C-alpha cells in the first residue's frame, strides 16, 4: 500500500498504554515497511508526564520498543522512525496550552490527524480546545471506544464533536474491523460464488461470535467497574462483527456503501422484551481460579473494584435478525475476562443434510462449519465430512485451512496499522458511522436498564473456565453448544 499522503499525526495520550502497545508500534511497522508513510509525515506526541522531546524519546525507547517487530528491531529503521517524532507538553485541562500545539504543527505538512487515545470524558474538551486555536480545519479526528456510557451520553459526545468536525472528518475506531480475517470474510462472501447461496437461513443453523480473554481487568479496575463487558465489548466489537457477518452485498466497497449495509443489519436486530432478558442474556462475574497453573484472584478483589460490585465480566446473549436472509437463525454472542483461553472467532454452523445414506454422523448439525479465527492466530477453517481410510463407509470430520502466515509470503498487517493508514489516506469504510453506533446502543439499552434495575447479582464462574453454566444452557435450549464444548 503505497502513499504520497503527507500528514501530521497528533497523538493525545502519548504516554498511555494504548499508545505504547498499539498506536506507536503500528506506526513504526508502517514506517519500517517503506512507502506506506510519506517521508515528510510527522508524529507529534502530546502528554504532560514528561519534560521535553528528549525525555519522550527515552520513554519511547523504554516502553514502545519491546512491542515492535517480533523478530527483532531494525535499529536503522528505529532511529529514522524516532526522527519523525516531535513532542509538545500540554495540560489537557488548560485550553490555553493548545496554542503551543498550534504553534508546533503550523509549519508541518499535509492533513492533520488528531488521535484521542484518552478517556472519553476528555473528547469534548479536546475538540473545543482544538477549535479555539483553529486546528479543526483540514483535519481528521480519531475517537477510541467507549464513546459514552449509554445512548444519551453517546449522543451528547457525538453532538458536541459534530459541532466542530464534520461526519466525514470523524473516525470512530473499532480495531476488530481492521483484522485480516474480517477483511477476508468480506472477500470470501463477495468474491466467491461458492458461499453466497449458502449464506442464509435455509442453510445456516446458528452462528457464534466469541471474544474471550485470559486476562482480568489488570490496572483498569476503576474504569472497568463503571463500564462492564456489555458496554466494553458487546455494544461495539461484537455487534460490529455481527453486522459484517450478516450484511447484504454492498454496491461497492466505498465507505458509505459498506456502512449502509451494516446499519441495515443493526436496525433489523429483534428488540429484546425486558421480560425475556433472563432467557436471552447471561451475565457473569469471575471468582478466584487457576489459569495455566497460576492462581488468580476474584474480580471483586482486583485493585479499583468495589467489593460488592455487580459489574459483569462475562456476557452471553442470543440475537435474532428480522429480515428475509436471517429470520429464525440464532446468533450467539459471548465475551468474558479470565476465561479458559484467549480467542476471538466467528463460527458459522451449517445445517445437517436432510437425508443421509452414509450414517448418523452426516445428520449431525455442525458437521459442516466455517470457523474464522481472529486471534491469537488468524485463520479460516472449513470443516466437512470425509471417508476414513479403510474398510466400510466411516465418516470423520476433516478441515481445509487458510492460514495466512503460511499461504502469503508477505507479513500480515496488524489491525491498528491498517486502520491508521486508512485515517491518513481518508478511507472511512472500516470506521463506525454515527448512525451505526446509535443503532447498537439502542439495541443494548434494554439489557443495561434491566440489569441496573435487577437485584440479582451476576452469575459466578471460576477464573480459567468458559463462564457460567447458564451460557451453555442457553445454547442447549436451541439444540447446540459452544464450539469448545463439542470437542
pLDDT in tens, the chain (487 residues): 445 579 999 999 999 989 999 999 999 999 998 889 999 999 999 998 888 999 999 999 999 998 887 667 889 999 999 999 999 999 988 888 999 999 999 989 899 999 999 988 899 999 999 999 999 999 999 998 878 889 999 999 999 999 999 999 999 999 999 988 888 888 888 888 888 889 999 999 999 999 999 999 987 888 899 999 999 999 999 999 999 999 999 998 888 999 999 999 999 999 999 999 999 999 999 999 999 999 999 999 999 999 999 999 999 999 999 999 999 999 999 999 999 999 999 999 999 887 676 766 655 656 789 999 988 888 888 888 887 888 777 777 888 887 766 776 666 788 999 999 999 999 999 999 999 999 999 999 999 999 999 888 999 999 999 999 999 999 999 989 999 998 6
Cell numbers describing residue 206: 446458528
Query: DSSP per residue over 279-321, as a string?
Result: HHEEEEEEESEEETTEEE--GGGSTT--TT----SEEEEEE-B
Residues in contact with 354: Cβ distance below 8 Å, sequence separation at least 6, in sequence order? none
CA nearest 175: which of 133, 211, 216?
211
**Which residue bears the cell 466505498?**
254
CA torsion sign for 37, 39, 41, 42 is positive
Q: Would you say 94 is a known binding-site residue?
A: no
Q: Would you say 231 is a known binding-site residue?
A: no
Q: How far apart are CA 113 and CA 49, in angstroms?
A: 22
Maximum CA pair distance of the chain? 82
Measured at the alpha carbon of residue 11, what is the angle toward residues 7 and 15, in degrees to the nearest 5? Answer: 145
Topology given in CATH for the domain delimited by 178-412+434-486 = Dihydrodipicolinate Reductase; domain 2 (3.30.360)
CA nearest 484: which of 460, 467, 459?
467
pLDDT score for 2: 46
Domain with CATH 3.40.50.720 in the chain: 7-144
Domain with CATH 3.30.360.10 in the chain: 178-412+434-486
Three-state DSSP class for residue 107: coil
Q: Residues with catalytic annotation?
A: 237
Q: Would you say 337 is a known binding-site residue?
A: yes
Three-state DSSP class for residue 198: helix
CA nearest 435: which of 427, 443, 423?
443
**Which residue bears the cell 470474510?**
185
Give the CATH class of 7-144: alpha beta
Distances (CA, A) of 268 to 263, 273, 350, 439, 441: 8, 15, 22, 9, 14
CA nearest 235: which of 325, 154, 179?
154
Q: Would you say 145 is a known binding-site residue?
A: yes
**Which residue bears the cell 446458528?**
206
Amino acid at each position: 500500500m503505497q502513499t504520497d499522503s503527507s500528514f501530521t499525526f497528533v497523538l493525545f495520550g502519548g504516554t498511555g498504554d494504548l499508545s505504547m502497545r498499539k498506536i506507536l508500534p503500528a506506526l513504526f511497522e508502517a514506517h519500517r515497511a517503506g512507502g506506506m508513510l510519506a517521508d515528510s509525515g510527522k508524529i507529534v506526541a502530546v502528554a504532560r508526564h514528561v519534560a521535553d522531546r528528549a525525555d519522550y524519546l527515552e520513554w519511547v525507547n523504554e516502553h514502545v520498543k519491546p512491542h515492535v517487530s517480533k523478530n527483532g528491531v531494525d535499529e536503522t529503521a528505529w532511529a529514522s522512525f524516532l526522527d519523525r517524532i516531535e513532542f509538545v507538553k500540554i495540560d489537557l485541562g488548560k485550553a490555553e496550552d493548545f496554542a503551543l500545539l498550534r504553534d508546533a504543527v503550523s509549519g508541518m505538512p499535509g492533513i492533520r490527524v488528531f488521535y484521542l487515545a484518552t478517556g472519553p470524558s476528555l473528547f469534548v474538551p479536546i475538540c473545543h480546545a482544538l477549535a479555539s486555536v483553529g486546528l479543526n480545519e483540514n483535519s481528521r479526528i480519531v475517537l477510541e471506544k467507549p464513546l459514552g456510557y449509554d445512548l444519551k451520553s453517546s449522543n451528547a459526545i457525538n453532538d458536541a464533536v459534530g459541532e466542530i468536525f464534520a461526519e466525514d472528518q470523524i473516525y470512530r475506531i473499532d480495531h476488530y474491523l481492521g483484522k485480516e480475517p474480517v477483511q477476508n470474510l468480506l472477500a470470501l462472501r463477495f468474491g466467491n460464488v461458492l458461499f453466497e447461496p449458502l449464506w442464509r437461513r435455509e442453510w445456516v443453523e446458528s452462528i457464534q461470535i466469541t471474544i474471550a480473554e485470559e486476562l482480568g481487568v489488570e490496572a483498569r479496575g476503576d474504569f472497568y467497574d463503571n463500564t462492564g463487558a456489555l458496554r466494553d465489548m458487546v455494544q461495539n466489537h461484537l455487534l460490529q462483527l455481527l453486522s459484517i457477518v450478516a450484511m447484504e452485498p454492498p454496491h461497492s466497497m466505498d465507505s458509505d456503501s459498506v456502512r449502509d449495509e451494516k446499519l441495515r443489519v443493526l436496525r433489523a436486530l429483534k428488540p429484546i422484551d425486558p421480560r425475556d432478558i433472563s432467557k436471552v442474556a447471561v451475565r457473569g462475574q469471575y471468582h478466584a481460579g487457576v489459569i495455566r497453573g497460576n492462581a488468580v484472584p476474584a474480580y471483586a478483589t482486583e485493585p479499583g473494584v468495589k467489593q460488592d460490585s455487580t459489574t459483569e465480566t462475562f456476557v452471553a446473549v442470543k440475537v435474532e435478525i428480522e429480515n428475509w436472509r436471517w429470520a429464525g437463525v440464532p446468533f450467539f454472542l459471548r465475551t468474558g475476562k479470565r476465561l479458559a483461553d484467549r480467542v476471538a472467532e466467528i463460527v458459522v454452523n451449517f445445517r445437517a443434510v436432510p437425508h443421509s445414506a452414509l450414517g448418523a454422523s452426516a445428520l449431525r448439525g455442525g458437521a459442516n462449519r466455517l470457523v474464522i479465527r481472529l486471534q491469537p492466530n488468524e485463520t479460516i477453517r472449513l470443516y466437512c465430512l470425509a471417508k476414513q481410510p479403510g474398510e466400510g463407509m466411516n465418516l470423520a470430520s476433516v478441515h481445509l485451512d487458510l492460514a495466512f502466515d503460511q499461504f502469503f509470503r508477505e507479513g500480515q498487517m496488524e489491525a491498528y496499522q491498517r486502520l491508521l493508514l486508512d485515517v491518513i489516506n481518508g478511507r472511512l469504510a472500516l470506521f463506525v458511522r454515527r448512525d451505526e453506533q446509535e443503532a447498537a446502543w439502542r439495541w443494548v439499552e434494554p439489557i443495561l436498564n434491566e440489569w441496573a434495575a435487577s437485584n440479582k447479582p451476576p452469575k459466578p464462574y471460576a477464573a480459567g473456565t468458559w463462564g457460567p453454566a447458564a451460557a451453555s444452557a442457553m445454547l442447549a435450549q436451541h439444540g447446540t453448544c459452544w464450539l469448545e464444548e463439542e470437542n
